């Protein structure tokens, strides 16, 4: 069973093509024209062991908002398609990851019910040209479109780059755990019989 998906999304603001393989080796080829987002998606693929290709063009002359949010939407759609009927998946995943001085955790339920709980207090600064408030926009778009319950918590930290990186690494590892096939699970892991 190939758990892969290719999604294209074209709007007046962005043009995105994304390929996601859930059972990969962490290979990534990412070009969004938003360097910090490229870095986060690259480490997301590497630490989640997902194969990921992203080509995105957006109205970055205005700002990075549309591109970052729409990449989150497309990644969420790719996840949903790659999971298919969700048969045999563990459904839940969680990870706590240090990145030097910060410590971040993520917990995921691939329930079909979108919800984001984002307890990440970051100063309103830029990392390069990247507004850190866009991190929340990415996770919100991903959770909404992917149909999952996502909790991201930053326990502490000082360096903003490290703080965001810890969040993305925890997110990747939690998603890897939640999407794994467990041979003991028949159908889906739900008393309802459907996710």
pLDDT at 101 over 90: yes
Whether the Cβ atoms of residue 55 and residue 10 lie closer than 8 Å to each other: no
Across residues 140-163, what is the average pLDDT?
98
Amino acid 2: pLDDT: 87
Token pair for 42: 């690259």
Write down the mean pLDDT value for the chain. Answer: 97
Q: What is the mean pLDDT of residues 173-183?
A: 97
- Regarding beta strands 149-156 and 115-119, do their DSSP bridges make them parallel or antiparallel, or are they unpaired? parallel
What gap in Å lies between CA 137 and CA 143, rounded to an integer? 10
pLDDT at 9: 98
Q: Strand, coil or helix: what is 44?
A: helix
- Phi and psi at residue 2, to the nearest 5°: -90, 115
Q: For 183, what's the count of Cα atoms within 13 Å in the CB-facing half-sphere? A: 0
pLDDT band at residue 22 using 50, 70 and 90 as cut-offs: very high
**Spatial separation of the C-alpha atoms in residues 124 and 134, rounded to whole Å:** 10
pLDDT band at 67 (very low <50, low <70, confident <90, very high): very high
Average pLDDT over residues 134-150: 98
Q: Quick check: 1 pLDDT over 80? A: no
Task: Give me the count of residues in the chain.
Answer: 195
The per-residue pLDDT for 191 is 86
Q: The whole model's pTM is what?
A: 0.96
């Amino acid at each position: 069973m190939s758990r892969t998906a290719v999604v294209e999304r074209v709007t007046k603001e962005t043009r995105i093509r994304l390929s996601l393989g859930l059972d990969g080796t962490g290979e990534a080829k990412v070009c969004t024209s938003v360097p910090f987002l490229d870095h986060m998606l690259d480490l997301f693929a590497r630490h989640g062991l997902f194969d990921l290709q992203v080509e995105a063009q957006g109205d970055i002359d205005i700002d990075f908002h549309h591109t970052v949010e729409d990449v989150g939407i497309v990644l969420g759609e790719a996840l949903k398609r790659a999971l298919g009927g969700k048969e045999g998946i563990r459904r839940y995943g969680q990870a706590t990851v240090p990145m030097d001085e910060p410590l971040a955790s993520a917990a995921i339920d691939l329930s079909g019910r979108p919800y984001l709980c984002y307890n990440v207090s970051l100063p309103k600064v830029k990392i390069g040209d990247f507004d850190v408030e866009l991190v929340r926009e990415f996770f919100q778009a991903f959770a909404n479109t992917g149909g999952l319950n996502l909790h991201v918590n930053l326990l502490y930290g000082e360096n903003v780059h490290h703080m965001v990186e810890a969040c993305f690494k925890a997110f990747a590892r939690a998603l890897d755990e939640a999407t794994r096939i467990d041979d003991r699970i028949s159908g889906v892991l739900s008393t309802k019989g459907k996710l």
